[in-house]
Protein backbone atom coordinates (compact mmCIF):
# COMPACT_ATOMS: atom_id res chain seq x y z
CA UNK A 1 0.00 0.00 0.00
CA UNK A 2 1.48 3.35 -1.07
CA UNK A 3 1.93 6.18 1.50
CA UNK A 4 -0.77 8.18 -0.33
CA UNK A 5 -3.21 5.26 -0.18
CA UNK A 6 -2.47 4.86 3.55
CA UNK A 7 -3.19 8.54 4.09
CA UNK A 8 -6.41 8.26 1.99
CA UNK A 9 -7.59 5.48 4.28
CA UNK A 10 -6.65 7.46 7.39
CA UNK A 11 -8.58 10.45 5.99
CA UNK A 12 -11.70 8.34 5.37
CA UNK A 13 -11.44 6.84 8.88
CA UNK A 14 -11.17 10.35 10.33
CA UNK A 15 -14.33 11.47 8.53
CA UNK A 16 -16.20 8.44 9.85
CA UNK A 17 -14.91 9.09 13.38
CA UNK A 18 -15.96 12.77 13.11
CA UNK A 19 -19.52 11.77 12.07
CA UNK A 20 -19.81 9.25 14.93
CA UNK A 21 -18.42 11.73 17.48
CA UNK A 22 -20.82 14.48 16.29
CA UNK A 23 -23.82 12.13 16.53
CA UNK A 24 -22.80 10.88 20.00
CA UNK A 25 -22.31 14.49 21.05
CA UNK A 26 -25.80 15.47 19.90
CA UNK A 27 -27.48 12.54 21.65
CA UNK A 28 -25.61 13.11 24.94
CA UNK A 29 -26.15 16.88 24.87
CA UNK A 30 -29.88 16.54 24.23
CA UNK A 31 -30.44 13.65 26.65
CA UNK A 32 -31.74 15.84 29.53
CA UNK A 33 -34.24 17.52 27.19
CA UNK A 34 -35.35 14.18 25.69
CA UNK A 35 -35.87 12.78 29.19
CA UNK A 36 -37.88 15.86 30.19
CA UNK A 37 -40.06 15.51 27.11
CA UNK A 38 -40.76 11.85 27.83
CA UNK A 39 -43.78 10.84 29.96
CA UNK A 40 -44.74 11.38 32.74
CA UNK A 41 -44.88 15.13 32.12
CA UNK A 42 -46.96 17.89 33.77
CA UNK A 43 -49.77 19.05 31.48
CA UNK A 44 -51.45 22.37 30.81
CA UNK A 45 -48.40 24.62 31.32
CA UNK A 46 -48.00 27.86 29.44
CA UNK A 47 -45.71 28.05 26.38
CA UNK A 48 -43.22 30.51 27.95
CA UNK A 49 -42.85 28.35 31.03
CA UNK A 50 -42.27 25.26 28.89
CA UNK A 51 -39.74 27.17 26.78
CA UNK A 52 -37.88 28.35 29.88
CA UNK A 53 -37.56 24.80 31.16
CA UNK A 54 -36.59 23.44 27.75
CA UNK A 55 -33.78 26.03 27.59
CA UNK A 56 -32.67 24.99 31.07
CA UNK A 57 -32.48 21.33 30.06
CA UNK A 58 -30.56 22.10 26.86
CA UNK A 59 -28.15 24.32 28.85
CA UNK A 60 -27.60 21.48 31.32
CA UNK A 61 -26.63 19.19 28.43
CA UNK A 62 -24.24 21.78 27.01
CA UNK A 63 -22.53 22.41 30.37
CA UNK A 64 -21.91 18.68 30.80
CA UNK A 65 -20.55 18.26 27.28
CA UNK A 66 -18.14 21.16 27.90
CA UNK A 67 -16.34 18.90 30.37
CA UNK A 68 -16.03 16.17 27.72
CA UNK A 69 -14.67 18.62 25.15
CA UNK A 70 -11.70 19.55 27.32
CA UNK A 71 -11.08 16.03 28.66
CA UNK A 72 -8.32 15.59 26.04
CA UNK A 73 -9.54 12.41 24.45
CA UNK A 74 -7.50 12.26 21.32
CA UNK A 75 -10.12 10.07 19.63
CA UNK A 76 -12.74 12.79 20.12
CA UNK A 77 -10.66 15.83 19.22
CA UNK A 78 -8.42 14.36 16.52
CA UNK A 79 -10.99 14.17 13.67
CA UNK A 80 -11.81 17.87 14.16
CA UNK A 81 -8.51 19.29 15.42
CA UNK A 82 -7.90 20.67 18.92
CA UNK A 83 -8.03 24.19 17.47
CA UNK A 84 -11.63 23.73 16.30
CA UNK A 85 -12.63 21.86 19.46
CA UNK A 86 -11.37 24.69 21.69
CA UNK A 87 -13.05 27.34 19.55
CA UNK A 88 -16.29 25.34 19.75
CA UNK A 89 -15.80 25.01 23.53
CA UNK A 90 -15.60 28.81 23.83
CA UNK A 91 -18.61 29.56 21.59
CA UNK A 92 -20.66 26.86 23.26
CA UNK A 93 -19.78 28.24 26.70
CA UNK A 94 -21.23 31.61 25.72
CA UNK A 95 -24.30 29.98 24.16
CA UNK A 96 -24.93 27.83 27.26
CA UNK A 97 -24.63 30.94 29.47
CA UNK A 98 -27.18 32.79 27.33
CA UNK A 99 -29.53 29.81 27.61
CA UNK A 100 -29.12 29.72 31.40
CA UNK A 101 -29.91 33.44 31.58
CA UNK A 102 -32.92 33.06 29.26
CA UNK A 103 -34.14 30.17 31.43
CA UNK A 104 -33.87 32.26 34.61
CA UNK A 105 -35.44 35.40 33.13
CA UNK A 106 -38.34 33.61 31.47
CA UNK A 107 -39.02 31.63 34.64
CA UNK A 108 -38.89 34.80 36.76
CA UNK A 109 -41.25 36.52 34.33
CA UNK A 110 -43.74 33.67 34.46
CA UNK A 111 -43.40 33.12 38.22
CA UNK A 112 -42.48 36.48 39.83
CA UNK A 113 -42.80 34.94 43.31
CA UNK A 114 -39.54 33.08 42.59
CA UNK A 115 -37.53 36.35 42.71
CA UNK A 116 -38.79 37.03 46.24
CA UNK A 117 -38.05 33.44 47.26
CA UNK A 118 -34.43 33.87 46.16
CA UNK A 119 -33.50 36.37 48.88
CA UNK A 120 -32.05 34.81 52.07
CA UNK A 121 -34.94 33.68 54.25
CA UNK A 122 -37.31 33.90 51.26
CA UNK A 123 -38.18 30.22 51.64
CA UNK A 124 -36.96 29.28 48.16
CA UNK A 125 -35.87 25.83 49.22
CA UNK A 126 -33.01 23.65 47.98
CA UNK A 127 -34.34 23.31 44.42
CA UNK A 128 -34.27 27.05 43.85
CA UNK A 129 -31.02 27.54 45.81
CA UNK A 130 -29.05 24.99 43.78
CA UNK A 131 -30.33 26.56 40.56
CA UNK A 132 -29.25 30.03 41.71
CA UNK A 133 -25.78 28.85 42.77
CA UNK A 134 -25.32 26.99 39.49
CA UNK A 135 -26.20 30.17 37.58
CA UNK A 136 -23.69 32.14 39.65
CA UNK A 137 -20.98 29.53 38.95
CA UNK A 138 -21.66 29.79 35.20
CA UNK A 139 -21.50 33.61 35.29
CA UNK A 140 -18.29 33.64 37.33
CA UNK A 141 -16.72 31.14 34.96
CA UNK A 142 -17.50 33.36 31.98
CA UNK A 143 -16.24 36.52 33.71
CA UNK A 144 -12.94 34.85 34.66
CA UNK A 145 -12.48 33.45 31.15
CA UNK A 146 -13.03 36.73 29.33
CA UNK A 147 -11.32 39.03 31.80
CA UNK A 148 -8.58 36.77 33.19
CA UNK A 149 -5.73 39.14 32.32
CA UNK A 150 -7.31 42.43 33.53
CA UNK A 151 -8.28 40.61 36.73
CA UNK A 152 -4.64 39.55 37.16
CA UNK A 153 -5.42 35.83 37.35
CA UNK A 154 -2.42 33.62 36.40
CA UNK A 155 -2.94 30.93 33.74
CA UNK A 156 -2.63 27.92 36.12
CA UNK A 157 -4.94 29.46 38.75
CA UNK A 158 -7.44 30.20 35.99
CA UNK A 159 -7.35 26.60 34.72
CA UNK A 160 -8.01 25.19 38.20
CA UNK A 161 -10.83 27.68 38.83
CA UNK A 162 -12.28 26.94 35.38
CA UNK A 163 -12.48 23.19 36.01
CA UNK A 164 -13.86 23.57 39.56
CA UNK A 165 -16.49 26.11 38.52
CA UNK A 166 -17.50 23.92 35.56
CA UNK A 167 -17.96 20.89 37.81
CA UNK A 168 -19.83 22.98 40.40
CA UNK A 169 -22.15 24.41 37.73
CA UNK A 170 -22.97 20.94 36.44
CA UNK A 171 -23.47 19.24 39.83
CA UNK A 172 -25.62 22.11 41.15
CA UNK A 173 -27.71 22.27 37.95
CA UNK A 174 -28.28 18.54 38.12
CA UNK A 175 -29.29 18.76 41.79
CA UNK A 176 -31.63 21.63 40.84
CA UNK A 177 -33.37 19.47 38.20
CA UNK A 178 -33.61 16.42 40.47
CA UNK A 179 -34.85 18.44 43.49
CA UNK A 180 -37.37 20.45 41.44
CA UNK A 181 -38.73 17.07 40.36
CA UNK A 182 -41.20 18.52 37.84
CA UNK A 183 -40.01 17.05 34.56
CA UNK A 184 -37.66 14.52 36.10
CA UNK A 185 -39.91 13.24 38.86
CA UNK A 186 -39.96 9.59 37.71
CA UNK A 187 -37.34 7.43 39.45
CA UNK A 188 -36.04 6.05 36.14
CA UNK A 189 -35.49 9.56 34.78
CA UNK A 190 -33.68 10.54 37.96
CA UNK A 191 -31.45 7.45 37.77
CA UNK A 192 -30.50 8.10 34.15
CA UNK A 193 -29.77 11.80 34.82
CA UNK A 194 -27.67 11.00 37.90
CA UNK A 195 -25.62 8.41 35.98
CA UNK A 196 -25.25 10.75 33.01
CA UNK A 197 -23.96 13.59 35.25
CA UNK A 198 -21.64 11.27 37.18
CA UNK A 199 -20.06 10.13 33.90
CA UNK A 200 -19.03 13.70 33.03
CA UNK A 201 -17.65 14.49 36.48
CA UNK A 202 -15.89 11.10 36.28
CA UNK A 203 -14.21 12.20 33.04
CA UNK A 204 -12.52 15.10 34.80
CA UNK A 205 -11.60 12.92 37.78
CA UNK A 206 -10.07 10.46 35.30
CA UNK A 207 -8.06 13.15 33.56
CA UNK A 208 -6.78 14.76 36.76
CA UNK A 209 -6.36 11.74 39.07
CA UNK A 210 -6.14 8.50 37.09
CA UNK A 211 -4.38 9.54 33.88
CA UNK A 212 -1.32 10.86 35.79
CA UNK A 213 -0.78 7.30 37.10
CA UNK A 214 -0.17 6.24 33.49
CA UNK A 215 2.13 9.24 32.99
CA UNK A 216 4.12 8.31 36.12
CA UNK A 217 4.70 4.82 34.71
CA UNK A 218 6.34 6.25 31.57
CA UNK A 219 8.72 8.95 32.81
CA UNK A 220 11.12 10.98 30.68
CA UNK A 221 14.22 12.95 31.48
CA UNK A 222 15.87 16.01 30.02
CA UNK A 223 18.66 14.81 27.72
CA UNK A 224 19.81 18.19 26.40
CA UNK A 225 18.85 21.85 26.20
CA UNK A 226 20.30 23.62 23.14
CA UNK A 227 20.10 27.35 22.50
CA UNK A 228 18.85 28.48 19.08
CA UNK A 229 18.27 32.14 18.19
CA UNK A 230 17.95 34.53 21.15
CA UNK A 231 15.10 33.46 23.45
CA UNK A 232 14.50 30.10 21.74
CA UNK A 233 15.60 26.66 22.88
CA UNK A 234 15.48 23.05 21.80
CA UNK A 235 14.55 20.77 24.67
CA UNK A 236 15.40 17.10 24.09
CA UNK A 237 13.85 14.33 26.20
CA UNK A 238 14.72 10.66 26.43
CA UNK A 239 12.55 7.88 27.87
CA UNK A 240 13.40 6.35 31.24
CA UNK A 241 12.72 2.61 31.23
CA UNK A 242 10.43 2.49 28.18
CA UNK A 243 10.70 2.62 24.39
CA UNK A 244 9.45 6.17 23.84
CA UNK A 245 6.38 7.73 22.29
CA UNK A 246 5.00 7.24 18.78
CA UNK A 247 3.38 10.33 17.26
CA UNK A 248 2.35 11.78 13.93
CA UNK A 249 4.67 14.61 12.81
CA UNK A 250 3.18 18.01 13.69
CA UNK A 251 1.32 16.79 16.77
CA UNK A 252 1.91 18.08 20.30
CA UNK A 253 2.02 16.83 23.88
CA UNK A 254 1.34 18.34 27.30
CA UNK A 255 4.67 18.58 29.08
CA UNK A 256 5.24 18.58 32.84
CA UNK A 257 8.87 19.04 33.73
CA UNK A 258 10.44 19.10 37.19
CA UNK A 259 7.01 18.62 38.79
CA UNK A 260 4.83 15.65 39.80
CA UNK A 261 2.59 13.98 37.19
CA UNK A 262 -0.41 15.31 39.21
CA UNK A 263 0.73 18.91 38.98
CA UNK A 264 -1.48 21.39 37.12
CA UNK A 265 1.68 23.02 35.78
CA UNK A 266 1.78 21.63 32.26
CA UNK A 267 2.26 23.18 28.85
CA UNK A 268 1.24 22.13 25.34
CA UNK A 269 4.29 21.94 23.07
CA UNK A 270 4.62 20.69 19.50
CA UNK A 271 7.22 18.06 18.72
CA UNK A 272 9.93 19.50 16.51
CA UNK A 273 11.75 16.19 15.98
CA UNK A 274 11.13 13.46 13.42
CA UNK A 275 8.29 11.03 14.12
CA UNK A 276 10.71 8.32 12.96
CA UNK A 277 12.65 8.84 16.22
CA UNK A 278 10.19 8.03 19.03
CA UNK A 279 13.09 7.33 21.41
CA UNK A 280 14.32 10.93 21.48
CA UNK A 281 11.79 13.72 21.40
CA UNK A 282 12.61 17.37 20.77
CA UNK A 283 10.60 20.54 21.30
CA UNK A 284 11.40 24.01 19.98
CA UNK A 285 10.44 26.47 22.71
CA UNK A 286 10.20 30.25 22.64
CA UNK A 287 10.42 32.21 25.87
CA UNK A 288 6.94 33.65 26.46
CA UNK A 289 6.33 33.56 30.22
CA UNK A 290 6.99 31.92 33.61
CA UNK A 291 7.68 28.40 32.39
CA UNK A 292 9.21 28.94 28.97
CA UNK A 293 11.72 31.46 30.44
CA UNK A 294 13.12 28.72 32.69
CA UNK A 295 13.66 26.13 29.92
CA UNK A 296 17.23 27.28 29.23
CA UNK A 297 18.18 26.52 32.84
CA UNK A 298 16.77 22.95 32.93
CA UNK A 299 19.46 20.51 34.01
CA UNK A 300 20.00 17.24 32.13
CA UNK A 301 18.39 14.41 34.09
CA UNK A 302 15.39 16.54 35.23
CA UNK A 303 12.30 14.31 35.36
CA UNK A 304 9.49 15.02 32.87
CA UNK A 305 6.07 13.57 31.99
CA UNK A 306 4.27 13.70 28.66
CA UNK A 307 0.56 13.46 27.95
CA UNK A 308 0.20 12.88 24.25
CA UNK A 309 0.34 12.75 21.36
CA UNK A 310 -2.54 15.14 20.63
CA UNK A 311 -3.72 17.15 17.67
CA UNK A 312 -4.51 16.72 14.01
CA UNK A 313 -2.01 19.17 12.54
CA UNK A 314 -0.11 16.51 10.65
CA UNK A 315 0.77 15.64 7.07
CA UNK A 316 0.06 12.02 7.99
CA UNK A 317 -3.66 12.80 7.99
CA UNK A 318 -3.82 14.31 4.50
CA UNK A 319 -3.46 12.34 1.28
CA UNK A 320 -2.03 14.96 -1.11
CA UNK A 321 1.19 14.49 -3.09
CA UNK A 322 3.37 17.12 -1.44
CA UNK A 323 2.56 19.88 1.04
CA UNK A 324 2.76 23.64 1.41
CA UNK A 325 3.84 24.90 4.85
CA UNK A 326 3.34 28.45 6.09
CA UNK A 327 5.05 29.31 9.37
CA UNK A 328 5.38 32.43 11.48
CA UNK A 329 8.04 32.63 14.21
CA UNK A 330 7.98 29.71 16.65
CA UNK A 331 5.07 28.25 14.62
CA UNK A 332 7.85 26.57 12.64
CA UNK A 333 8.19 23.78 15.27
CA UNK A 334 5.40 21.40 14.15
CA UNK A 335 6.32 22.13 10.53
CA UNK A 336 9.96 21.25 11.18
CA UNK A 337 8.77 17.96 12.66
CA UNK A 338 6.86 17.23 9.44
CA UNK A 339 9.80 18.20 7.21
CA UNK A 340 12.25 16.12 9.24
CA UNK A 341 9.90 13.13 9.12
CA UNK A 342 9.31 13.47 5.38
CA UNK A 343 13.09 13.58 4.86
CA UNK A 344 13.63 10.52 7.09
CA UNK A 345 10.95 8.67 5.09
CA UNK A 346 12.67 9.58 1.82
CA UNK A 347 9.73 11.63 0.47
CA UNK A 348 10.24 12.53 -3.21
CA UNK A 349 7.12 14.76 -3.39
CA UNK A 350 7.42 18.51 -4.01
CA UNK A 351 7.06 20.59 -0.83
CA UNK A 352 7.14 24.35 -0.24
CA UNK A 353 7.79 26.39 2.89
CA UNK A 354 6.95 30.05 3.44
CA UNK A 355 8.53 31.15 6.70
CA UNK A 356 7.82 34.63 8.08
CA UNK A 357 9.85 36.23 10.83
CA UNK A 358 10.77 39.65 12.14
CA UNK A 359 14.45 39.51 11.06
CA UNK A 360 17.08 37.22 9.52
CA UNK A 361 18.78 36.55 12.86
CA UNK A 362 15.40 35.68 14.49
CA UNK A 363 14.64 32.76 12.10
CA UNK A 364 14.45 29.75 14.43
CA UNK A 365 15.91 26.48 13.09
CA UNK A 366 17.28 28.19 9.95
CA UNK A 367 20.30 25.84 9.86
CA UNK A 368 18.03 22.77 10.09
CA UNK A 369 15.80 24.07 7.28
CA UNK A 370 18.76 24.73 5.02
CA UNK A 371 20.04 21.18 5.68
CA UNK A 372 16.59 19.76 4.84
CA UNK A 373 16.68 21.43 1.43
CA UNK A 374 19.39 18.92 0.45
CA UNK A 375 17.27 15.95 1.55
CA UNK A 376 13.87 17.01 0.16
CA UNK A 377 12.35 18.54 -2.97
CA UNK A 378 11.73 21.70 -0.93
CA UNK A 379 11.43 25.32 -2.01
CA UNK A 380 11.81 27.87 0.80
CA UNK A 381 10.72 31.53 0.87
CA UNK A 382 11.73 33.55 3.93
CA UNK A 383 9.60 36.65 4.46
CA UNK A 384 11.26 39.16 6.77
CA UNK A 385 9.65 42.17 8.37
CA UNK A 386 13.06 43.79 8.11
CA UNK A 387 15.62 42.39 5.67
CA UNK A 388 19.38 42.54 6.39
CA UNK A 389 21.63 44.56 4.13
CA UNK A 390 21.64 43.19 0.59
CA UNK A 391 18.42 41.17 1.21
CA UNK A 392 16.52 40.62 -2.04
CA UNK A 393 13.74 38.38 -0.70
CA UNK A 394 10.24 39.48 0.29
CA UNK A 395 9.97 42.12 3.02
CA UNK A 396 6.98 42.91 5.25
CA UNK A 397 4.20 40.39 5.87
CA UNK A 398 3.38 37.31 3.80
CA UNK A 399 1.56 38.50 0.68
CA UNK A 400 -0.57 36.91 -2.02
CA UNK A 401 2.29 36.76 -4.52
CA UNK A 402 4.58 34.75 -2.20
CA UNK A 403 1.76 32.34 -1.37
CA UNK A 404 0.70 31.94 -5.01
CA UNK A 405 4.27 31.12 -5.97
CA UNK A 406 4.52 28.50 -3.18
CA UNK A 407 1.19 26.97 -4.20
CA UNK A 408 2.26 26.57 -7.84
CA UNK A 409 -0.05 25.98 -10.83
CA UNK A 410 -2.74 24.05 -8.99
CA UNK A 411 -3.71 25.64 -5.64
CA UNK A 412 -6.00 22.73 -4.73
CA UNK A 413 -3.40 20.00 -5.26
CA UNK A 414 -1.52 20.12 -1.97
CA UNK A 415 -2.58 20.37 1.67
CA UNK A 416 -1.53 23.69 3.22
CA UNK A 417 -0.43 23.83 6.88
CA UNK A 418 -0.41 27.17 8.68
CA UNK A 419 1.03 27.84 12.15
CA UNK A 420 2.05 31.16 13.64
CA UNK A 421 0.72 34.17 15.55
CA UNK A 422 -3.06 34.62 15.38
CA UNK A 423 -3.11 37.77 13.18
CA UNK A 424 -0.74 36.13 10.70
CA UNK A 425 -2.88 33.00 10.54
CA UNK A 426 -6.07 34.97 9.91
CA UNK A 427 -4.40 37.03 7.17
CA UNK A 428 -2.82 33.95 5.53
CA UNK A 429 -6.12 32.04 5.60
CA UNK A 430 -7.87 34.90 3.77
CA UNK A 431 -5.03 35.12 1.20
CA UNK A 432 -5.05 31.36 0.63
CA UNK A 433 -8.79 31.42 -0.06
CA UNK A 434 -8.18 34.33 -2.42
CA UNK A 435 -5.60 32.17 -4.23
CA UNK A 436 -8.28 29.50 -4.72
CA UNK A 437 -7.35 27.09 -1.91
CA UNK A 438 -10.56 25.48 -0.58
CA UNK A 439 -11.17 25.32 3.21
CA UNK A 440 -10.66 21.55 3.33
CA UNK A 441 -7.12 22.01 1.99
CA UNK A 442 -6.14 24.39 4.83
CA UNK A 443 -5.05 22.97 8.20
CA UNK A 444 -4.22 25.40 11.00
CA UNK A 445 -2.68 25.08 14.47
CA UNK A 446 -3.11 27.90 16.96
CA UNK A 447 -0.67 28.09 19.89
CA UNK A 448 -2.98 30.54 21.58
CA UNK A 449 -5.84 28.34 22.77
CA UNK A 450 -7.11 30.74 25.44
C1 LIG B 1 -1.16 23.09 20.53
C2 LIG B 1 -0.08 24.01 21.04
C3 LIG B 1 1.21 23.81 20.65
C4 LIG B 1 2.21 24.66 21.10
N5 LIG B 1 3.49 24.45 20.68
C6 LIG B 1 4.46 25.30 21.08
C7 LIG B 1 5.81 25.12 20.63
O8 LIG B 1 6.13 24.19 19.88
N9 LIG B 1 6.75 26.01 21.05
C10 LIG B 1 6.44 27.07 21.88
O11 LIG B 1 7.33 27.83 22.23
N12 LIG B 1 5.18 27.25 22.30
C13 LIG B 1 4.17 26.40 21.94
N14 LIG B 1 2.90 26.59 22.39
C15 LIG B 1 2.64 27.72 23.31
C16 LIG B 1 3.06 27.35 24.72
O17 LIG B 1 2.20 26.34 25.23
C18 LIG B 1 2.97 28.58 25.63
O19 LIG B 1 3.84 29.56 25.12
C20 LIG B 1 3.42 28.24 27.02
O21 LIG B 1 2.52 27.33 27.60
C22 LIG B 1 3.52 29.52 27.83
O23 LIG B 1 3.74 29.18 29.18
P24 LIG B 1 4.55 30.17 30.16
O25 LIG B 1 4.32 29.71 31.55
O26 LIG B 1 5.94 30.33 29.71
O27 LIG B 1 3.85 31.55 29.90
P28 LIG B 1 2.77 32.31 30.78
O29 LIG B 1 3.28 33.65 31.12
O30 LIG B 1 2.23 31.49 31.88
O31 LIG B 1 1.65 32.44 29.70
C32 LIG B 1 1.76 33.17 28.50
C33 LIG B 1 0.52 32.80 27.70
O34 LIG B 1 0.70 31.48 27.17
C35 LIG B 1 -0.50 30.74 27.27
N36 LIG B 1 -0.30 29.59 28.18
C37 LIG B 1 0.36 29.57 29.35
N38 LIG B 1 0.36 28.36 29.91
C39 LIG B 1 -0.36 27.61 29.07
C40 LIG B 1 -0.76 26.26 29.12
N41 LIG B 1 -0.44 25.46 30.13
N42 LIG B 1 -1.52 25.82 28.11
C43 LIG B 1 -1.88 26.61 27.08
N44 LIG B 1 -1.51 27.89 26.98
C45 LIG B 1 -0.78 28.38 27.96
C46 LIG B 1 -1.54 31.66 27.85
O47 LIG B 1 -2.26 32.28 26.79
C48 LIG B 1 -0.75 32.69 28.57
O49 LIG B 1 -1.42 33.89 28.70
C50 LIG B 1 1.91 25.74 21.97
C51 LIG B 1 0.59 25.93 22.37
C52 LIG B 1 -0.38 25.09 21.91
C53 LIG B 1 -1.80 25.31 22.36
**Virtual torsion, Cα 335, 338, 342, 348, nearest 10 deg:** -40
Bridge pairing between strands 267-270 and 252-257: antiparallel
Residue nearest to atom 6 of ligand 1 (CA): 269
- Ligand 1 atom closest to the CA of 154, numbered from 1: 30
**Virtual torsion, Cα 306, 309, 312, 317, nearest 10 deg:** 150
- Ligand 1 atom closest to the CA of 148, numbered from 1: 49
Cβ atoms < 10 Å from Cβ of 134:
25
How does DSSP classify residue 221? E
**75-85 confidence digits (pLDDT tens):** 777 777 777 78
Distance (Å) of CA 303 to CA 224, 291, 293: 12, 15, 18
Cβ atoms < 10 Å from Cβ of 416:
26
* pLDDT over threshold 80, residue 315: yes
Tell me what the mean pLDDT of segment 429-442 comes to.
95
Q: 302 alpha carbon to ligand 1 midpoint, in Å?
A: 20
**220-259 confidence digits (pLDDT tens):** 999 999 999 999 999 999 999 999 999 999 999 999 999 9
* pLDDT over threshold 70, residue 316: yes
Bridge pairing between strands 323-328 and 415-419: parallel
* pLDDT over threshold 90, residue 350: yes
Question: Of 139-143, 182-186, 301-305, 379-383, which gets the smallest average pLDDT?
Answer: 182-186
Q: 138 alpha carbon to ligand 1 midpoint, in Å?
A: 25
**29-64 confidence digits (pLDDT tens):** 999 999 999 888 888 788 999 999 999 999 999 999
Q: 126 alpha carbon to ligand 1 midpoint, in Å?
A: 42
* pLDDT over threshold 70, residue 442: yes
Q: 264 alpha carbon to ligand 1 midpoint, in Å?
A: 14
Mutation to probe ligand 1, out of 269, 420, 421, 449 (largest number of atoms < 8 A from CB):
269
Max Cα–Cα distance, the chain, nearest Å? 82
Q: Which long-range contacts (CB under 8 A, 24 or more apart) does 190-198 make?
A: 192/31, 192/35, 193/32, 193/35, 196/28, 196/31, 196/32, 196/64, 197/64, 197/170, 197/171
Identify which has the larger pLDDT, 386 or 122.
386
- Ligand 1 atom closest to the CA of 286, numbered from 1: 11
Distance (Å) of CA 100 to CA 37, 171, 243, 285, 385: 18, 15, 49, 41, 47
Q: What global pTM score does this model have?
A: 0.87
The pocket around ligand 1, CB under 6 angstroms, is made up of: 155, 252, 266-270, 283-286, 288-292, 311, 330, 333, 445, 447-450
Number of alpha carbons in the 13 Å side-chain half-sphere of residue 354: 27
Q: Give CA–CA dist 170/164, Å, rounded.
A: 10
Reported as a pLDDT band with limits 50, 70 and 90, residue 354 is very high
- Ligand 1 atom closest to the CA of 271, numbered from 1: 8
Q: 286 alpha carbon to ligand 1 midpoint, in Å?
A: 9
Q: Give CA–CA dist 138/143, Å, rounded.
A: 9
Name the packing angle between helices 82-110 and 47-69 (round to 10°). Answer: 150
Q: 417 alpha carbon to ligand 1 midpoint, in Å?
A: 20
Q: Give CA–CA dist 416/439, Å, rounded.
A: 10
Q: 448 alpha carbon to ligand 1 midpoint, in Å?
A: 7
Reported as a pLDDT band with limits 50, 70 and 90, residue 184 is confident
Residue nearest to atom 45 of ligand 1 (CA): 267
The pLDDT of residue 17: 85
- Contacts (Cβ under 8 Å, ≥6 apart) of 435: 400, 403, 404, 407, 411
Residue nearest to atom 2 of ligand 1 (CA): 447
- Ligand 1 atom closest to the CA of 294, numbered from 1: 26
Residue nearest to atom 32 of ligand 1 (CA): 289
Number of alpha carbons in the 13 Å side-chain half-sphere of residue 448: 9
Contact 355, 373 (CB under 8 A): no
Q: 110 alpha carbon to ligand 1 midpoint, in Å?
A: 47
Q: What is the mean pLDDT of the chain?
A: 92
Q: 291 alpha carbon to ligand 1 midpoint, in Å?
A: 9
Amino acid sequence: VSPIETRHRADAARRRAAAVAALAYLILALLPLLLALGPPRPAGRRFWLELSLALGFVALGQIALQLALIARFQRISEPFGIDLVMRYHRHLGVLATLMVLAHVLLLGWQRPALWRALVPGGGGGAALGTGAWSTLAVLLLIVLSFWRRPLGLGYEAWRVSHALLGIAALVLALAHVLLAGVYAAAAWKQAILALWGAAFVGLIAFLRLVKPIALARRPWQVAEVRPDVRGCWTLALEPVGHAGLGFAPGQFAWLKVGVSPWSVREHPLSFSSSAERPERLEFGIKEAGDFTRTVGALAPGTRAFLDGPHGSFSCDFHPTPGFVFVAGGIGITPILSMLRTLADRGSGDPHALVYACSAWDRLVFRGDIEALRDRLDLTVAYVLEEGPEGWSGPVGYIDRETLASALGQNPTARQVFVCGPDPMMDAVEALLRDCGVPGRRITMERFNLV
